Amino acid sequence: MSGREFFTALTVAEALAGFRPARRTRVESVAREELLHRVPAADVLAPHALPGFARSTVDGYAVRAADTFGASDGLPAYLELAGTVRMGRAAEVAVPAHGAVAIPTGAMIPHGADAVVMVEYTAETMPGTIEVTRPVAPGGGVVGADDDVPVRGVLVPAGRPLRAPDLGLLASAGVSAVPVHARPRVAILSTGDEVVPPDTQELTAGQVRDATASALAGLIRDAGGDPVYAGIVPDDADALIEALRQALAEADLVVISAGSSVGARDETATAVAELGKIWCHGLAIKPGKPTMLAECDEIPLIGLPGNPLSALVVFRLVGVPLVWRLAGCDQPPPQPRTRARLTRNVASQAGRLDVIQVRLDQGPDTGLGAEPLHGPSALLSVLARADGCVLVPEPATGLDGGTEVDVMLYA
């Protein structure tokens, strides 16, 4: 990260590329059953090969492949039944030349065999004699002892959030715990003389409940973080500095949902500048322009716009990748998207990213439509009603109705 301070509006792409705090959360050992979506701090290696022994992939007879060469319906191979392999046991019998051992799917290949012929191509024509009507190649019907993962092979890689199949792979290798990055603690500090806690039953005139903090907590959880409410601070420089100091002491990332007025925003910037370095103040995005990115003693800090919708739009684009990064993950899970046609024109201004909330509607024969939702950006209900958003890139001056667009879906 550059040490310079920028006070001009950056594009969102510039901010994402440039604001890359070095901080990572500490590493902790987490039990397998709690590992879903956690980020391994190092590659986890297989303590032994998987599956660990050669297994049959079909129900049939373990054989020497060479004994089946040329077998056909007209000229079957005849093999002597030498025994049966039981599931979950060592094969007690070896396969001799011109012999066959009955074997179910998943059982251990007996010594001497190098293939399994499927039961569909066999018949026990006489007791103890197996007729084989198709040849099987060496290795056919067999998974090798290390075909799934070799010993010391990578079971799950560092830096990618664990998914359901990874948990299965860890289980099959007997790995009961994995070192992962701790969930980033994200302190949420709300400001504003008008803002009161959400559980306030009776409001006095001019008061509003804190909506942004609860919504941010949801986005933080979705990004694998641990939201921590750091309280609501009145528009007072000293109170703000003190609250910030406390939040910084116990968080990996601090998010301030700043006051909505210009005066309140200036006060926030002054307080942050007191404690750290402002890296950029202003993003070329609508809604969300009055966004601040800063670093205070290596703790990154995001100052969000005062209105809830703007704050959430910015946090989704800028904050969510940062939460993942703090946990050692540079490739967050994929964002759901869909293609749809705009149902009407949207205006946008060249030079900034316009984020348009849309509702999806399946037309009778026009395909999936994306209807832009209007209304003042102050309205949280617009975001709750939206199925997703369309990003109108910086160079564009609007999009025509009918244009096929990429919709970022809210999950």
In the region spanning residues 39 to 78, those forming contacts with a second copy, defined by CB under 8 A, are 50-53, 55, 57, 59
CA dist 406 and 388 (Å) reads 10
**What is the token pair recorded at 33?**
């059953």
**Intra-chain end-to-end CA distance of the chain, in Å:** 32
Please identify, using beta-carbon distances, which residue of 200 and 397 lies nearer to a second copy. 200
Q: Which residues of 217-243 are buried (b: 16+ CB within 10 A; e: fewer)?
A: bebbebbbbbbbbbbbbebeeeebbeb
Please identify, using beta-carbon distances, which residue of 176 and 366 lies nearer to a second copy. 176
Applying CB under 8 A, among 67, 194, 295, 354 the residue interacting with a second copy is: 194
Residues 5-44 interacting with a second copy (rule: CB under 8 A)? 32-33, 36
Please identify, using beta-carbon distances, which residue of 98 and 379 lies nearer to a second copy. 379
Per CB under 8 A, 207 contacts a second copy: yes
Applying CB under 8 A, among 125, 200, 270, 345 the residue interacting with a second copy is: 200
Q: Which stretch binds a second copy (CB under 8 A): 62-70, 190-198, 241-249, 345-353?
A: 190-198
CA dist 4 and 18 (Å) reads 11
Residues 84-113 interacting with a second copy (rule: CB under 8 A)? 85-91, 104-108
Please identify, using beta-carbon distances, which residue of 24 and 209 lies nearer to a second copy. 209
**What is the token pair recorded at 227?**
């939201």
Residues 115-144 interacting with a second copy (rule: CB under 8 A)? 119, 143
**What is the token pair recorded at 209?**
């409940």
Residue pair 248/176 in contact by the 8 Å Cβ criterion: no
Residues 260-279 interacting with a second copy (rule: CB under 8 A)? 260-264
**Residue 307 Cβ, how far from a second copy at the closest point, in Å?**
8
Per CB under 8 A, 163 contacts a second copy: yes
Residues 222-261 interacting with a second copy (rule: CB under 8 A)? 222, 235, 259-261
CA dist 87 and 110 (Å) reads 12
Per CB under 8 A, 206 contacts a second copy: yes
Torsion of CA 96, 100, 105, 109, to 10 degrees: 0
Please identify, using beta-carbon distances, which residue of 283 and 296 lies nearer to a second copy. 283
**Residue 226 Cβ, how far from a second copy at the closest point, in Å?**
12
Residue pair 361/340 in contact by the 8 Å Cβ criterion: no
Residue 198's CB: how many other CB atoms inside 10 A?
Answer: 13
Residue 202: C-alpha distances to residues 192, 207, 208 (Å):
18, 10, 10
CA dist 71 and 140 (Å) reads 15
Applying CB under 8 A, among 15, 170, 256, 271 the residue interacting with a second copy is: 170
Q: Which stretch binds a second copy (CB under 8 A): 123-131, 219-227, 243-251, 322-330?
A: 219-227
Residues 304-333 interacting with a second copy (rule: CB under 8 A)? 306-309, 312, 333
Per CB under 8 A, 210 contacts a second copy: yes
* Number of residues engaging a second copy in binding (CB under 8 A): 101
What's the gap between Cα 149 and its chain centre?
24
Bridge pairing between strands 195-196 and 154-156 = unpaired
CA dist 62 and 72 (Å) reads 18
Per CB under 8 A, 367 contacts a second copy: no
